[in-house]
Amino acid sequence: MEAKATDKDTTLHYIDKLFGMAEVTKARGFRVTIIQLTTSLPLLALSGGLATTQGTFAFGGVGLKVPVAVFLAGGALLVSSLVYVVQVYNLSVQVAQSEIHRLYKSIGFKDPTLDYGMFFGMLRSRLVTMLGGGIIGTTFPTSAQVAAGFKVSELLRFEGLGWIWLVFVLLAVSTKWVSDSMAVSRLPQIVRAYGQQIDESRIRRPVRIFGLVLALLGVAFGYFVAKVLGSS
């Protein structure tokens, strides 16, 4: 009995650590999302003509001047990497939550809300991420990358690099594809931890299609910002 009690205490202690880790990861993911947004905004502003420069972008108080094309390209690369980082944080939180659920069941904790409340809470969280978070985490940064690409191609067209916008579009779409692939590979494992049986093929296709639609919306908006607003 003492051994069982010790094992239970150890499991509860580990659950506490997992919960704390999930909260810290969630907070970090939120901060990265804020950085992603604050990086995307100047890219859209410069690409859409809301901010004007004379060939260089000056950092206030630093005295450092960077060519606009270099600033836009660097910003697009940063936003692309942050899309992936945010997805890693989101998945880490979901994996931790599913492990907490599994550990509670392993020590005999029975509560109807454990199976259904946490499972549907996870799905609700995923739905919010896909809908609301999808606009912020996919469409908005994708549009910033694409708009930056069109602006860079405009600035460098006299150098024979007018085609370089295609690289930015491919970078934005491929980043979303890779992050969705990572999510698809882990989601069935997370769902099974809640005792739910699900056909993996029913997960892959909707997630990929929805992600592609959000990415294409971002491409369209980025084109509008750079080619319509930027030329007006």
pTM for this prediction: 0.76
In angstroms, the Cα distances linking 67 to 97, 106, 165, 187, 203 are 45, 58, 17, 42, 44
pLDDT of residue 148: 93
Residue 57 lies in a domain: no
How far apart are the C-alpha atoms of 56 and 17, rounded to whole Å?
48
pLDDT of residue 51: 64
DSSP 64: E
pLDDT of residue 76: 93
pLDDT of residue 192: 62
- What residues make up the domain containing 218? 2-27+70-229
> Which residue reads 């699900």 in tokens?
198
Residue 144 lies in a domain: yes
DSSP 3-state of 129: helix
pLDDT of residue 119: 47
DSSP 3-state of 66: strand
How far apart are the C-alpha atoms of 229 and 68, rounded to whole Å?
18
Kindly give the confidence (pLDDT) of every residue in the chain, 232 residues in length, as a single tens digit, with 9 standing for 90 and above: 455 566 777 888 888 888 888 889 889 988 998 899 899 998 998 888 876 555 555 555 544 456 888 889 999 999 989 988 888 888 888 788 778 877 887 777 765 555 544 444 545 455 555 444 556 777 889 999 999 999 999 888 887 888 999 999 999 888 888 887 777 777 666 666 665 555 666 667 777 777 788 888 889 999 999 888 877 6
8 Å CB contact between 47 and 226: yes
Residue 92 lies in a domain: yes
Distance of alpha carbon 78 from the chain centroid: 12
Residue 37 lies in a domain: no
- Compute the C-alpha angle 53/31/122, nearest 5°: 130
pLDDT of residue 117: 46
Residue 207 lies in a domain: yes
Number of domains forming the structure of the chain: 1
Phi, psi of 56 (to 5 degrees): -135, 160
8 Å CB contact between 171 and 145: yes
Residue 44 lies in a domain: no
pLDDT of residue 149: 92
